[in-house]
Amino acid sequence: MEQNKQKNILEIKRYPDSILRKKSLSISEIMLKDVELLEDMLLTMYTLNGIGLAAPQVGCSVQIIVADVGEGPIKLINPRIVKAKGEDKLTEGCLSVPDINVDVKRPYEIIIEALNGKGEPVEIKADGLLARVIQHEIDHLKGRLIVDYMGMIDKMKLMKLNKNRRQS
């Protein structure tokens, strides 16, 4: 693999971009482009002060997510939650839905099975913030956004905000 490939900061797709609503495809064989995408996603996430990022957010409809809640980067391909327990409610934001925060109820602890950036199977036990970030990013792979957790009044405010943004 070429080590000199320049990393790129990727453009974040914003709500209501249609790619954010598509179900992502699983990856059957990890290619160089997937490894490069993981690295570019990490750079993008760090540059934008995010703590998680999913491939659909950068225009790629594949099952790839990255996260870092201060414990080092996590790169996951085809992640799936195999066990969840507990419950927690916290306010979440999203790089694809700027200036919007939503209270979201999620399991507090999860176990995830996935492939790492080298294509090796991994199992990750996560709780607290890391569990929340991984679940948020897996939601993106399913075409689900934080706006889906909003009540009707907040959704109406968001529609008005988006309309005003398009007019300015």
Q: Classify 76 as helix, strand or coil.
A: strand
CA atoms within 13 A on the CB side of 1: 11
88, containing H or E segment:
strand 88-92
| 94 touches 132 (CB < 8 A) | no
| 135 touches 124 (CB < 8 A) | no
Residue 87 DSSP symbol: -
- Catalytic residue list contains 11: no
| 55 touches 45 (CB < 8 A) | no
CA trace torsion 155, 65, 61, 31 (10° rounding): 170
* Contacts with 139 (C-beta within 8 Å, 6 or more apart), sequence order: 145, 146
Kindly name the residue from 2, 29, 39, 137 that is annotated as catalytic: 137
Q: What are the catalytic residues?
A: 137
